Amino acid sequence: MKTDTSTHGLGEVLQALCHSVGTSRALMVSLLLKHGELGQLLSLRTDPAHYLDADHYRCDNMLTEFLRKCRLESVVSSKERKARSLELFFEAERDCAITNIRFQRILNNHNLVDLDMRAIDFLYRAKNWISRTLGPLPEDLEGSFGPGSTYLDRGKVTTIPDKISSQFHCTPGLEPLLPFIERTAWWRHGVCMGPRGLHLELVKGNRFTTVPKTALVDRGICIEPSANIFLQKGVGKILKQRLKRAGVDLRHAQYWHQTMARDGSLTGELATIDLSSASDTVSLKLVEFLLPTEWFQLLCMLRSPFTLVNRKWVYLQKFSSMGNGFTFELETLIFAALAYACGAGEFGVDFSVFGDDIIVPTHMAPDLIALLRYCGFKENPKKTFLTGHFRESCGGDFFKGKPVRAHNVENPPEGPEDWISLANGLYRQGLNDPRGMGRDGVLHRAWRLVLDQLPNEIRRLRGPPALGDLAIHDDDETQWRFKWDRGPDQSGPYRYFQVWKPIPELLPWHHWNSRTMYAAALYGVPSEGVSSRGRLSYKVGRVILS
């Protein structure tokens, strides 16, 4: 696919990286970029099995991954990306239908085949682990609002006051759980509005939409009705608590996974497994078999049985999708149970699960993969590592113990904040380079090119990594822009850094009535106003760093 070579200034940065790296992969990337073959460039992958040391892999992978997630319309249009995500949606539904037939045989204990008989012992072991982990049903459900859209609340009209003021809607299956809603400030607000206020609208299910994933394909998600997502998040919180009692601490699991991935790359004793479309392939009958009956019934009341796709309702073979408030916790529960059933050992010590990121002892990984396939899941061969010196999990990539994670540009830079983010991404890559960001480092020239895109005033906003992307990270402390001050409470001294500061758009409270304001305050909305979901504005400002 030959395309327009315009890459919003990113092409020059990538060419500079290619020139500094100087490998055969660098030459390939440079030529593809020069001749506008961006489609081929974005399809490239770097296989760690072809490398002997971390530095060579890190450099080549950095070039390959630089633009892979960048949404360049000249390469693949948003319409094409969405079409591909729709294909994946229906492909996952077909896979779930096959899995449902398989598990219906087990539920009926009828027409079992040899493969079923070999899997049953493992499945009952997983089922018993889930039963012990979940325990009894909760006596109460404490729901909460999420930051995103709902089935009826779209675009920028998705703040908490907007949701409180909009039409109350849910699926028919949720009606038995309405008493948990009726005791909330949200419901009382609607009742106080009188005859023109809250009335219940039933909808068949959720609606399909997409969010960015890579340059070639979007990620399909489903937007839930307001009452469904409100209580789904409450159940998700309870599942998280029950998992923690079993040793599955989702709050700290990401860091622990990265530590285990690093250890696995050194010793080879741990394997990292990643699944393709994991949440979309958790089938209805699999959940019915694995979960205790009362828990299955509760989750069924909360799930959407249909998805609106291109104005047509599709009956779902999957149990839940990304966008459901308990999907992440549910898939963690299921994959942890399947790993336990295969003899992975003690959770948090011998194995760990975080969503669909799975780390288990290498010797039992083949058994787990076989059980996962039986349950309808597919390992992602590009992100699953059972042998060799490379492991990855939860955003941590390691080769023989060394961090080799590449920086991805997710969107073409538009403002100074985007170029600052790119400069800091390259800086973090430089921390893994033996020569660092020095003048002979492979990243220095590209880093300088990025800084050249910034106005002089903003280019001088330097500081330590602790400032995040508010300032440009720089090893040279003499370049940091700060002043000492005792602070408003005179308890200093503090360092006040000059930064490129986001200014959120605050919607004043007069947009809503007083009842909405009081109800929203109970859900944590600050008194100074409501943050809009629109693009932020920026200005030079100050922040304190002690």
- Which among 454, 478, 512 is the end of a domain? 454
**Predicted local distance difference test score (pLDDT) of residue 334:** 97
Task: Among 388, 420, 454, give the residue marking a domain's end.
Answer: 454
Residue 278 falls inside a structural domain: no
Query: Are residues 481 and 536 located together in one domain of the fold?
Result: yes
In terms of Cβ atoms closer than 10 Å to its own Cβ (0-12, 13-18, 19+), residue 360 is buried
**Domain contains 375:** no
Domain identity same for 464 and 541 = yes
Q: How far is CA 515 from CA 191, 195, 397, 527, in A?
A: 11, 15, 50, 14
25 found inside a domain: yes
pLDDT in tens, 190-227: 765 555 556 688 999 999 999 988 888 899 999 999 99
Statement to judge: residues 469 and 535 lie in one domain: yes
Q: Report whether the peptide linkage leading into residue 465 is cis, meaning its omega lies within 30 degrees of zero.
A: no
What range does the domain containing 540 cover? 460-545
> Which residue is listed with tokens 């070579």?
5
Burial class (CB in 10 A: 0-12, 13-18, 19+), 170: buried
Count of structural domains within the chain = 2
Per-residue pLDDT for 305 more than 60? yes
Nearest residue to 546 via CA among 495, 499, 490, 497: 495
Q: Terminus-to-terminus CA distance in the chain, angstroms?
A: 52
pLDDT tier at 436, thresholds 50, 70, 90: low
* 469 and 531 together in one domain: yes
Looking at residue 5, its pLDDT comes to 43
Q: How far apart are CA 122 and CA 112, in angstroms?
A: 15
Which residues make beta-bridge pairs with 211? 219
Same domain, 474 and 540: yes
Does 437 share its domain with 485?
Answer: no
Rounded percentage of the chain residues whose pLDDT exceeds 90: 67
Residue 467 lies in a domain: yes
- Report in angstroms the alpha-carbon separations of 154 from 40, 149, 170, 432, 534: 36, 5, 16, 42, 12
Residue 151 counted as domain residue: no
Same domain, 439 and 514: no
The pLDDT of residue 438 is 61
- Tokens in use for 167? 């039409």
Residues 471 and 521 in one domain: yes
Is 470 found in the same domain as 445?
no
Q: What is the pTM of this model?
A: 0.91
For residue 327, is it within any domain? no
| Two structure tokens written together for 333 | 């529960």
Query: What integer pLDDT is reported at residue 241 of this predicted model?
Result: 95
The whole-number average pLDDT for the span 267-289 is 96
Span 334-375, pLDDT tens digits: 999 999 999 988 887 889 999 999 999 999 999 999 999 999
Report the distance separating Cα 89 and Cα 94, nearest Å: 9
**One domain, residues 441 and 516:** no
Helices (H), 375-475: 416-430, 444-451, 456-459
- Helix and strand numbers (H, E) in the chain are 19, 20
- Do both 485 and 422 map to the same domain? no
Residue range 175-185: mean pLDDT, rounded: 90
What element of type H or E holds 544? strand 537-545
Position 427 pLDDT exceeds 50: yes
Q: What is the DSSP string of 470-502?
A: GSEE-S-GGGB-EEEE-TTTT---EEEEEEEEE
Length of the chain: 546
Domain finish residue from 454, 484, 515: 454
Confidence (pLDDT) at 301: 97
420 lies in some domain: yes
289 domain residue, yes or no: no
pLDDT band at 1 (very low <50, low <70, confident <90, very high): very low
